[in-house]
Amino acid sequence: MSSPPRLFISYSWSTSEHEQWVVDLATELVNSGVDVVLDKWDLREGHDSIAFMEKMVTDSSISKVILVCDQVYASKADGRAGGVGTETQIISAEVYAKQSQDKFVAVIAEKNDAGKPCLPTYYKSRIYVDLSESDRYAENFEKLLRWIFDKPLYLKPEIGKPPSFIIEPDAPALGTSALAKRVIEGVKADKGYVRGALDEYLSLFSEHLERFRISDDESEMDDRIVKSIEDFTPSRNELIQIITALAQYTDPQAYVSRIHRFFESILPYLSRPPHVNRWSETDFDNFKFIVHEMFLYVIAVLLRSEHIESATYLLSQSYYVPSNSDYGKNATVSYTAFREYMKSLEIRNQRLKSNRLSIRADLLEQRSKTSGVQFRHVMQSDFVCFLRADLTNTDSYDRWWPETLLYATRHYGPFELFARSTSKTYLSRTLSLLGVPNLDLLKAKLDEYASDRTNPPRWQFESISSSVLVGFDQLGTKE
């Protein structure tokens, strides 16, 4: 077992109360595994107090030094009271400058009349630990301990490998970046050409998505699918930026029909192209993930920006499919067509012996970190898609499996959309989004989930509580 860190406490003998505060702090640190050197304990009669202080600061066995700062300490450290060095426990600027500054941290015991921490001038620009406020004492004492033990709360992750679209020059691209920039600039400047530019962008996006069709090679199919999904990341982020710009600078209702037609145009990618006669079940799985993820993000961005009516449009409208598609005789399908089962990821889980509850959920969660959209908004989007499908569709095949909610199984409160729906006005918009006219139908569905444990989405022993995610008891309780 390694030896405990040794720490020296520098402080001012301001008042007897302050000295006792320092002793209490030192005692807490000792009880927490720190070997504290304190004059009250270690300086004996007849010893040179100045030599003692300087030895403690320069001693290589002392790994940390705390400067307990109050108004007296700051004043004497700056040499404004009695001259530098007259207070033997105070570290002057000269002593401080001779040592590695990483060895020191200021602990605030007192603030001035303006509420500012009392700090020596030489320390003004450095980070300190504030123990002057009782309501945050425990939290900040933990920060102090983490500094002493070199165990920061946040650690820089190991550097991973660059994504394939960065290091591989032959990675496919849509070639839409110039158009995307034009659309975004036009939206921000309220230019009249935005509609035409957006149509051109979405049309080219849809057409060039063909470039991501997976070709045969000797690698594992699931590896090719995951690589294709990774290669698509810049294009996904480009679309997210455009939808975000529309949501921030315009009323998306003016453009939502174009977004609807865009998703209509990419539906065929989810199944066999007309010219292909031989195929396997996993051949189009990269498109199944890509299209599903894009739809989730479009709904997520609209809901995040409170453009509920635009999201409602995309969820309520049918999507036309060509007669030669794999959707049988159906001329139109609901948005649930954008989420299809991916056998390849199940194969991947087994092949790599990953033992993951959902590779797809893991991918969605990991990829959200480079999207500019917080994952909680993606989960909210997924939950709304799931809930609306269950509330409005009677066919068992026409459901939406909420992949991301695997990460919401320990979510102990309502999503933001439902938390805001405590307002009756807001609630009416949310109910329209879910496709129900009143709370009774929503309650009936939530009661159904509660009474049938096999009904709500489950992953082995993990399941969501739809009632908690909706916060039903608080809905519509305020004007």
Contact of 176 with 201, CB cutoff 8 Å: yes
What is the distance between the alpha carbons of residues 163 and 120, in angstroms, rounded to a whole number? 47
Please state the length of the chain: 479
Task: Check if CATH label 3.40.50.10140 holds for domain 6-148.
Answer: yes
Read off φ and ψ for residue 111, nearest 5 degrees.
-115, 160
Read off φ and ψ for residue 371, nearest 5 degrees.
-95, -20
Contact of 129 with 29, CB cutoff 8 Å: no
Contact of 211 with 144, CB cutoff 8 Å: no
**pLDDT at res. 84:** 39
Name the residue type at position 137: Y
Contact of 136 with 130, CB cutoff 8 Å: yes
**pLDDT at res. 166:** 61
String of b and e for 209-220 (b: at least 16 CB within 10 Å)? Answer: beebebeeeeee
**pLDDT at res. 356:** 93
Tally of CB atoms within 10 A around 352 = 13
Contact of 201 with 179, CB cutoff 8 Å: yes
Closest listed residue to residue 365, CA positions, set 378, 353, 356, 352: 378
As given in the structure block, the two tokens for residue 412 are: 């102990």
Continuous H helices in 59-176 = 71-77, 93-97, 137-148, 164-167
Give me the tens of pLDDT residue by residue for the chain, a chain 479 residues long: 578 999 999 898 888 899 999 999 999 999 999 999 988 888 766 566 667 777 777 788 888 999 999 988 988 888 754 433 445 578 877 777 777 778 889 999 988 888 888 888 888 778 899 998 888 888 899 999 999 998 887 777 777 666 655 666 667 888 899 999 999 999 999 999 999 999 999 999 999 999 999 887 778 999 999 999 999 999 999 999 999 999 999 999 999 999 999 999 999 999 888 777 777 888 899 999 999 999 999 999 999 999 999 999 999 999 998 765 565 566 889 999 999 999 999 999 999 999 999 999 999 999 999 999 999 999 999 999 999 999 998 676 678 999 999 998 877 789 999 999 999 999 999 999 999 999 999 999 999 988 876 677 888 878 888 999 999 999 999 98
What is this structure's pTM? 0.68
What is the distance between the alpha carbons of residues 319 and 415, in angstroms, rounded to a whole number? 28
- For helices 308-316 and 375-392, the axis angle rounded to 10 degrees is 50
Contact of 292 with 269, CB cutoff 8 Å: no
Helix%, strand%, coil% for the chain, nearest 5:
55, 5, 40
**pLDDT at res. 103:** 86
**pLDDT at res. 48:** 60
Give residues with Cβ within 8 angstroms of 131, minimum separation 6: 25, 107, 108, 109, 137, 140, 141, 144
The residue whose two tokens read 């807490």 is: 28
**How many CA atoms lie less than 13 Å away from 55 in the CB half-sphere?**
11
What is the distance between the alpha carbons of residues 400 and 93, in angstroms, rounded to a whole number? 65
